[in-house]
Structure 1
Amino acid sequence: MTRDEILVAYSGYIACLNAQDWPNLENYVSDEASYNGTLIGLDGYRAMLIGDFKAIPDLQFHMVQVMCDPPVIAARLAFDCTPVGDLFDLPVNGKRVQFSENVFYEFAGGKIRNVWSVIDKAAIAAQLCTGAPSAPAQEPSA
Protein backbone atom coordinates (compact mmCIF):
# COMPACT_ATOMS: atom_id res chain seq x y z
CA MET A 1 0.00 0.00 0.00
CA THR A 2 1.13 3.55 -0.65
CA ARG A 3 1.36 6.20 2.05
CA ASP A 4 -1.85 7.83 0.81
CA GLU A 5 -3.70 4.50 0.74
CA ILE A 6 -2.64 3.75 4.30
CA LEU A 7 -3.70 7.22 5.49
CA VAL A 8 -7.13 6.80 3.89
CA ALA A 9 -7.52 3.30 5.34
CA TYR A 10 -6.45 4.49 8.80
CA SER A 11 -8.93 7.38 8.75
CA GLY A 12 -11.65 4.91 7.78
CA TYR A 13 -10.58 2.59 10.60
CA ILE A 14 -10.79 5.39 13.20
CA ALA A 15 -14.24 6.38 11.86
CA CYS A 16 -15.30 2.72 12.09
CA LEU A 17 -14.20 2.59 15.75
CA ASN A 18 -15.91 5.85 16.68
CA ALA A 19 -19.15 4.66 15.04
CA GLN A 20 -18.80 1.25 16.73
CA ASP A 21 -19.44 -0.23 13.29
CA TRP A 22 -18.28 -3.72 14.27
CA PRO A 23 -19.48 -5.54 11.10
CA ASN A 24 -17.22 -3.29 8.98
CA LEU A 25 -14.13 -3.76 11.18
CA GLU A 26 -13.18 -6.66 8.89
CA ASN A 27 -12.56 -4.09 6.13
CA TYR A 28 -9.68 -2.63 8.18
CA VAL A 29 -8.31 -5.41 10.42
CA SER A 30 -6.77 -8.69 9.27
CA ASP A 31 -8.03 -12.10 10.36
CA GLU A 32 -4.43 -12.63 11.58
CA ALA A 33 -4.30 -9.46 13.73
CA SER A 34 -1.77 -9.29 16.56
CA TYR A 35 -1.95 -6.86 19.47
CA ASN A 36 1.26 -6.10 21.38
CA GLY A 37 2.84 -9.29 20.08
CA THR A 38 -0.10 -11.62 20.78
CA LEU A 39 -2.08 -13.14 17.93
CA ILE A 40 -5.75 -12.37 18.71
CA GLY A 41 -7.25 -12.40 15.22
CA LEU A 42 -10.10 -10.24 13.98
CA ASP A 43 -12.60 -11.76 16.43
CA GLY A 44 -10.32 -11.14 19.42
CA TYR A 45 -9.58 -7.61 18.23
CA ARG A 46 -13.29 -6.89 17.84
CA ALA A 47 -14.01 -8.35 21.31
CA MET A 48 -11.26 -6.16 22.81
CA LEU A 49 -12.76 -3.02 21.27
CA ILE A 50 -16.30 -3.92 22.31
CA GLY A 51 -14.98 -4.39 25.85
CA ASP A 52 -13.30 -0.98 25.69
CA PHE A 53 -16.58 0.69 24.71
CA LYS A 54 -18.44 -1.21 27.43
CA ALA A 55 -15.97 0.08 30.03
CA ILE A 56 -15.95 3.57 28.46
CA PRO A 57 -19.39 4.33 26.97
CA ASP A 58 -18.33 7.79 25.72
CA LEU A 59 -15.07 6.55 24.16
CA GLN A 60 -13.96 8.40 21.04
CA PHE A 61 -10.61 8.12 19.26
CA HIS A 62 -9.09 11.50 18.34
CA MET A 63 -6.05 11.56 16.07
CA VAL A 64 -3.58 14.16 17.33
CA GLN A 65 -0.47 13.18 15.37
CA VAL A 66 -0.06 10.71 12.54
CA MET A 67 3.11 9.65 10.74
CA CYS A 68 3.30 7.11 7.97
CA ASP A 69 6.24 5.15 6.61
CA PRO A 70 4.66 2.25 4.67
CA PRO A 71 3.74 -0.33 5.67
CA VAL A 72 3.63 1.28 9.15
CA ILE A 73 1.54 4.14 10.43
CA ALA A 74 2.06 5.65 13.88
CA ALA A 75 -0.40 7.80 15.78
CA ARG A 76 -0.82 9.67 19.01
CA LEU A 77 -4.47 9.35 19.95
CA ALA A 78 -6.14 11.55 22.56
CA PHE A 79 -9.00 10.50 24.82
CA ASP A 80 -11.31 12.58 27.02
CA CYS A 81 -13.78 10.17 28.57
CA THR A 82 -15.64 8.88 31.60
CA PRO A 83 -15.00 5.18 32.27
CA VAL A 84 -17.66 3.45 34.38
CA GLY A 85 -15.39 1.29 36.56
CA ASP A 86 -11.73 0.32 36.58
CA LEU A 87 -9.62 1.39 33.64
CA PHE A 88 -6.25 -0.33 33.16
CA ASP A 89 -6.51 -1.56 36.77
CA LEU A 90 -7.11 1.98 38.05
CA PRO A 91 -10.33 2.81 39.98
CA VAL A 92 -11.69 5.55 37.72
CA ASN A 93 -15.35 4.81 38.58
CA GLY A 94 -17.12 7.47 36.56
CA LYS A 95 -14.51 10.25 36.83
CA ARG A 96 -13.63 12.14 33.69
CA VAL A 97 -10.05 11.46 32.56
CA GLN A 98 -7.87 12.58 29.70
CA PHE A 99 -4.97 10.52 28.40
CA SER A 100 -3.16 9.56 25.25
CA GLU A 101 -2.12 6.42 23.43
CA ASN A 102 0.96 6.02 21.25
CA VAL A 103 0.30 3.29 18.74
CA PHE A 104 1.96 1.74 15.69
CA TYR A 105 0.02 -0.24 13.09
CA GLU A 106 1.56 -2.42 10.41
CA PHE A 107 -0.49 -3.02 7.28
CA ALA A 108 -0.32 -6.24 5.26
CA GLY A 109 -2.68 -7.25 2.48
CA GLY A 110 -4.47 -3.90 2.73
CA LYS A 111 -5.43 -4.35 6.40
CA ILE A 112 -4.00 -3.80 9.87
CA ARG A 113 -2.03 -6.92 10.79
CA ASN A 114 0.07 -5.81 13.79
CA VAL A 115 -0.67 -3.25 16.49
CA TRP A 116 1.73 -2.06 19.18
CA SER A 117 0.12 0.22 21.76
CA VAL A 118 1.32 2.11 24.82
CA ILE A 119 -1.32 3.93 26.90
CA ASP A 120 -0.38 6.73 29.30
CA LYS A 121 -1.60 5.12 32.54
CA ALA A 122 0.48 7.60 34.56
CA ALA A 123 -1.68 10.47 33.29
CA ILE A 124 -4.81 8.66 34.47
CA ALA A 125 -3.31 7.84 37.87
CA ALA A 126 -2.23 11.46 38.36
CA GLN A 127 -5.76 12.68 37.64
CA LEU A 128 -7.22 10.24 40.14
CA CYS A 129 -4.88 11.66 42.80
CA THR A 130 -5.66 15.31 42.01
CA GLY A 131 -9.28 14.86 40.99
CA ALA A 132 -8.83 16.98 37.86
CA PRO A 133 -8.19 15.94 34.28
CA SER A 134 -4.80 16.85 32.88
CA ALA A 135 -4.42 19.26 30.00
CA PRO A 136 -5.79 17.66 26.86
CA ALA A 137 -3.30 16.03 24.53
CA GLN A 138 -3.12 18.24 21.47
CA GLU A 139 -0.80 19.10 18.67
CA PRO A 140 1.95 21.50 19.70
CA SER A 141 1.49 24.97 18.31
CA ALA A 142 4.09 26.50 16.04
Structure 2
Amino acid sequence: MSANATTTSMSTNELRDFYLRYVELANKREFDRMADFAHDEVIMNGTPVKMADMVAEFYRHVDAVPDLHWEIQELVVEGDRVAARLIDTGTPVKEWNGLTPTGKSVRFAETAFYEIQDGKFKNMWYLMDTDTVRQQLAA
Protein backbone atom coordinates (compact mmCIF):
# COMPACT_ATOMS: atom_id res chain seq x y z
CA MET A 1 0.00 0.00 0.00
CA SER A 2 1.28 3.47 -0.77
CA ALA A 3 2.34 5.65 2.14
CA ASN A 4 -0.55 8.10 1.75
CA ALA A 5 -3.29 5.52 1.15
CA THR A 6 -6.11 4.94 3.60
CA THR A 7 -6.45 1.40 4.85
CA THR A 8 -9.69 -0.17 3.72
CA SER A 9 -11.93 -1.85 6.25
CA MET A 10 -13.20 -4.34 3.66
CA SER A 11 -12.32 -7.99 4.15
CA THR A 12 -10.93 -10.16 1.35
CA ASN A 13 -14.39 -11.64 0.76
CA GLU A 14 -16.00 -8.18 0.77
CA LEU A 15 -13.46 -6.93 -1.79
CA ARG A 16 -14.06 -10.01 -3.95
CA ASP A 17 -17.83 -9.42 -3.81
CA PHE A 18 -17.28 -5.69 -4.49
CA TYR A 19 -15.35 -6.50 -7.68
CA LEU A 20 -17.89 -9.12 -8.81
CA ARG A 21 -20.65 -6.50 -8.42
CA TYR A 22 -18.55 -4.00 -10.41
CA VAL A 23 -18.17 -6.39 -13.34
CA GLU A 24 -21.88 -7.21 -13.10
CA LEU A 25 -22.62 -3.45 -13.26
CA ALA A 26 -20.55 -3.23 -16.45
CA ASN A 27 -22.23 -6.23 -18.05
CA LYS A 28 -25.70 -4.89 -17.17
CA ARG A 29 -24.76 -1.39 -18.44
CA GLU A 30 -25.67 0.17 -15.08
CA PHE A 31 -22.93 2.78 -15.35
CA ASP A 32 -25.05 5.33 -13.45
CA ARG A 33 -24.20 3.26 -10.34
CA MET A 34 -20.46 3.93 -10.72
CA ALA A 35 -20.49 6.24 -7.67
CA ASP A 36 -20.97 3.07 -5.59
CA PHE A 37 -17.60 1.81 -6.85
CA ALA A 38 -15.30 4.74 -7.63
CA HIS A 39 -14.23 7.98 -6.03
CA ASP A 40 -15.16 11.27 -7.77
CA GLU A 41 -11.64 11.23 -9.17
CA VAL A 42 -9.60 8.09 -9.79
CA ILE A 43 -6.07 7.61 -11.03
CA MET A 44 -6.43 5.62 -14.26
CA ASN A 45 -3.17 4.24 -15.63
CA GLY A 46 -1.36 7.05 -13.82
CA THR A 47 -3.65 9.87 -14.97
CA PRO A 48 -6.28 11.58 -12.77
CA VAL A 49 -9.72 10.98 -14.30
CA LYS A 50 -13.09 12.26 -13.14
CA MET A 51 -15.64 9.54 -12.50
CA ALA A 52 -17.95 11.15 -15.09
CA ASP A 53 -15.21 10.73 -17.70
CA MET A 54 -14.70 7.11 -16.65
CA VAL A 55 -18.43 6.50 -17.09
CA ALA A 56 -18.32 8.22 -20.50
CA GLU A 57 -15.50 5.87 -21.50
CA PHE A 58 -17.63 2.84 -20.57
CA TYR A 59 -20.46 4.25 -22.71
CA ARG A 60 -18.00 4.82 -25.57
CA HIS A 61 -16.94 1.16 -25.39
CA VAL A 62 -20.49 -0.24 -25.38
CA ASP A 63 -21.61 2.20 -28.08
CA ALA A 64 -18.91 0.78 -30.36
CA VAL A 65 -19.35 -2.81 -29.12
CA PRO A 66 -22.98 -3.13 -27.93
CA ASP A 67 -22.60 -6.76 -26.86
CA LEU A 68 -19.28 -6.22 -25.06
CA HIS A 69 -19.08 -8.68 -22.19
CA TRP A 70 -16.48 -8.97 -19.42
CA GLU A 71 -15.84 -12.42 -17.95
CA ILE A 72 -13.54 -12.85 -14.97
CA GLN A 73 -11.04 -15.66 -15.48
CA GLU A 74 -8.89 -15.04 -12.41
CA LEU A 75 -9.35 -12.78 -9.42
CA VAL A 76 -6.77 -12.14 -6.70
CA VAL A 77 -7.42 -10.00 -3.64
CA GLU A 78 -4.67 -9.01 -1.24
CA GLY A 79 -4.95 -6.25 1.33
CA ASP A 80 -6.50 -3.25 -0.43
CA ARG A 81 -5.59 -4.51 -3.92
CA VAL A 82 -7.58 -6.44 -6.51
CA ALA A 83 -6.06 -8.02 -9.61
CA ALA A 84 -8.15 -9.56 -12.37
CA ARG A 85 -7.60 -11.34 -15.65
CA LEU A 86 -10.67 -11.10 -17.83
CA ILE A 87 -11.74 -12.35 -21.23
CA ASP A 88 -13.71 -9.72 -23.12
CA THR A 89 -15.94 -10.60 -26.05
CA GLY A 90 -18.11 -8.70 -28.48
CA THR A 91 -18.70 -7.56 -32.04
CA PRO A 92 -17.60 -4.01 -32.86
CA VAL A 93 -20.15 -2.08 -34.94
CA LYS A 94 -18.30 1.26 -34.93
CA GLU A 95 -14.66 2.31 -34.90
CA TRP A 96 -13.25 1.25 -31.55
CA ASN A 97 -9.82 2.00 -30.14
CA GLY A 98 -8.72 3.04 -33.62
CA LEU A 99 -9.93 -0.22 -35.19
CA THR A 100 -12.50 -0.42 -37.98
CA PRO A 101 -15.31 -2.94 -37.49
CA THR A 102 -15.51 -5.78 -39.99
CA GLY A 103 -18.59 -7.62 -38.70
CA LYS A 104 -16.39 -10.15 -36.94
CA SER A 105 -16.59 -10.88 -33.24
CA VAL A 106 -13.55 -10.59 -31.01
CA ARG A 107 -12.31 -12.36 -27.90
CA PHE A 108 -9.33 -10.90 -26.06
CA ALA A 109 -7.60 -10.69 -22.70
CA GLU A 110 -7.77 -7.76 -20.32
CA THR A 111 -5.64 -7.43 -17.20
CA ALA A 112 -6.69 -5.00 -14.49
CA PHE A 113 -5.33 -3.93 -11.12
CA TYR A 114 -7.11 -1.78 -8.55
CA GLU A 115 -6.31 -0.10 -5.26
CA ILE A 116 -9.29 0.44 -2.96
CA GLN A 117 -9.41 3.41 -0.60
CA ASP A 118 -12.34 4.06 1.72
CA GLY A 119 -14.37 1.31 0.08
CA LYS A 120 -14.03 2.55 -3.52
CA PHE A 121 -11.58 2.38 -6.43
CA LYS A 122 -8.89 5.04 -6.16
CA ASN A 123 -6.13 3.71 -8.43
CA MET A 124 -6.91 1.65 -11.52
CA TRP A 125 -4.62 0.14 -14.13
CA TYR A 126 -5.73 -1.90 -17.11
CA LEU A 127 -4.31 -3.30 -20.30
CA MET A 128 -6.36 -4.70 -23.19
CA ASP A 129 -4.83 -6.99 -25.84
CA THR A 130 -5.67 -4.78 -28.83
CA ASP A 131 -3.20 -6.66 -31.06
CA THR A 132 -5.39 -9.75 -30.77
CA VAL A 133 -8.48 -7.64 -31.56
CA ARG A 134 -6.73 -6.21 -34.64
CA GLN A 135 -5.76 -9.71 -35.85
CA GLN A 136 -9.27 -11.11 -35.30
CA LEU A 137 -10.94 -8.24 -37.15
CA ALA A 138 -8.52 -8.64 -40.07
CA ALA A 139 -8.80 -12.44 -40.31
- Deviations for 1:84-108, whole angstroms, at most 9, x for unmatched residues? 1222212233321111101101111
Letter in 2 for 1:82: T
Distance 2:80 2:113 in 1: 10
Unpaired runs of 5+ residues, structure 1, are: 132-142
Question: Who is 1:88 aligned against?
Answer: 97
Question: Who is 1:135 aligned against?
Answer: none
Unpaired runs of 5+ residues, structure 2, are: 1-9
Asked if residue 64 in structure 1 is aligned to residue 76 in structure 2, the reply is no
Asked if residue 22 in structure 1 is aligned to residue 31 in structure 2, the reply is yes
Task: Using the TM superposition, give the Cα deviation of residue 11 of structure 1 relative to its aligned residue in structure 2, in angstroms.
Answer: 0.7
CA RMSD between the two structures: 1.3
Distance 2:79 2:97 in 1: 31
SS where residue 61 of structure 2 aligns? helix
Question: Who is 1:109 aligned against?
Answer: 118
Task: Using the TM superposition, give the Cα deviation of residue 26 of structure 1 relative to its aligned residue in structure 2, in angstroms.
Answer: 0.8
User: Counterparts in 2 of 1:35-50, with a 5 A limit?
Assistant: 35-50=44-59
In the alignment, which of 21, 28, 39 is matched to residue 12 of structure 1?
Answer: 21
Output the TM-score relative to the length of structure 1.
0.85
Q: How many residues align?
A: 130
Q: How much identity, in percent, do the aligned residues show?
A: 29
Is contact 1:66-1:76 (8 Å) kept? yes
Is contact 1:85-1:93 (8 Å) kept? no
Is contact 2:111-2:126 (8 Å) kept? yes
SS where residue 40 of structure 1 aligns? strand
Letter in 2 for 1:6: L
Question: Who is 1:31 aligned against?
Answer: 40
- Deviations for 1:69-92, whole angstroms, at most 9, x for unmatched residues? 121101111112101122221223
